[in-house]
Amino acid sequence: MAVGLSEPVDILPVAGIKLASVAAGIKKNGKDDMVVFIIDEHASCAASFTQNAFCAAPVTLAKKNLKQAPPRALLINSGNANAGTGDTGMQNAVQSCQWLAQELNCSAEQVLPFSTGVIGEQLPMDVMQSGIKQVVQNPLEDNWLLAAKGIMTTDTVAKAVSRTLIIDGSKVTLSGIAKGSGMICPNMATMLSFIATDANIEENYLQQCLSDAVAISFNAITVDGDTSTNDACVLIATAKAGNKPLNNSSANAGTFVTALNEICQQLAQTIVRDAEGATKYVTVSVQLAKSIVEAKNVAYTIAHSPLVKTALFASDPNWGRILAAVGRAGIEQLDISCINIFLGDVCIVRNGGVDADYQEEKGQAVMNEEEISITVELHRGDDAATIWTSDLSHEYVRINSEYRS
């Protein structure tokens, strides 16, 4: 059950983007498993991809195609990752792009492919071909929620969000969808996210905006410490809103950046809230660090600890596990006498030892909540980092042990 998360209701259309979703037959459960984004000409596109060396064929091909031509379409399938599939997997990804390009009367290089699902199985190409013919039949601007459902795998809730803002007197819309519940770790995760705006944005600046937003959103979450083979986040700007082209010196650039950061963070946080088997949504903040890298290192050591995560699942205020994680984070010359640790607003460790006012009942009250914050003060500098994570439950083990059955 997703923690504090419900199905999205109203996702705003973005001028210049049409979407469609169908059940092609890739998934065994008969649910939608193929989605297309059809993009008007003259749109700009930016993307961020997994850093896993075993990246999937569609990731490799999407990177290549993005460098060659402005995309006119995104082709997304769920239920099969097309990863670990060798030369055949690449040929299948290329063929899928060619089929969609034929339907849309564009070049195959103008199609970006994305896949998510089981690793090590070849795409069912007869199903892909028939699905592509179906999915192009009725694309609509307001099909965002259908698309959000069509890219799901172990997700229990569709993930989508919209924002509107005013730039140069023009109304600008941003809408985005994401999928992901497990195999979630920084440098992207087993997640896909597709965001579009009708703002007019210079292409180089669009990539800068996305890279900066990913750093504080999709690369600031973890469920299980596993970086996937298929992660991708795409940002499309159609320039239909009519504002002056935005760049890093534009007066309104900050307004757009703020909205994009909010979209990415909200989508990233919905992934953690819907983490496989999650019963807790956890914010880990490390403050007064010597550097952001140091702060993130401590935060991820806490968030990746199976002992911390299982204590969270049990609602057990076993704060020694948090203290131990801080101590093994590899921080050079760490002065433990300067460290404070908080559960919610309850100080559990002050100056390296148990706080004089700490009582087990106070810690227990915090751990009983569905949403928990852990804060560490290092007193080594002025930098800080925040990440979001979940607990580790029996259900996580069940989901992943039965994933291919």
Spatial distance between the Cα atoms of 140 and 35, rounded to a whole number of angstroms: 12
- Tell me how long the chain is: 405
Spatial distance between the Cα atoms of 183 and 13, rounded to a whole number of angstroms: 30
Spatial distance between the Cα atoms of 144 and 149, rounded to a whole number of angstroms: 9
Q: Which tokens go with 202?
A: 């210079």
278: three-class secondary structure by DSSP: coil
How many Cβ atoms are within 10 Å of 288's Cβ, its own excluded?
Answer: 17
Residue 190 falls in the annotated catalytic set: yes
State the DSSP code for 77: E
Spatial distance between the Cα atoms of 303 and 397, rounded to a whole number of angstroms: 17
205: three-class secondary structure by DSSP: helix
State the DSSP code for 272: H
Residues 6+ apart with CB under 8 A from 213: 257, 260, 261, 263, 264, 265
Give the neighbor-by-neighbor strand order of the sheet with 346-350.
Answer: 353-354, 346-350, 340-343, 371-377, 281-289, 383-390
Q: Are 297 and 284 in contact (CB under 8 A)?
A: no
Cα-to-chain-centroid distance, residue 393: 21
Catalytic pick from 50, 153, 154, 190? 190
Give catalytic residues, as residue numbers: 190
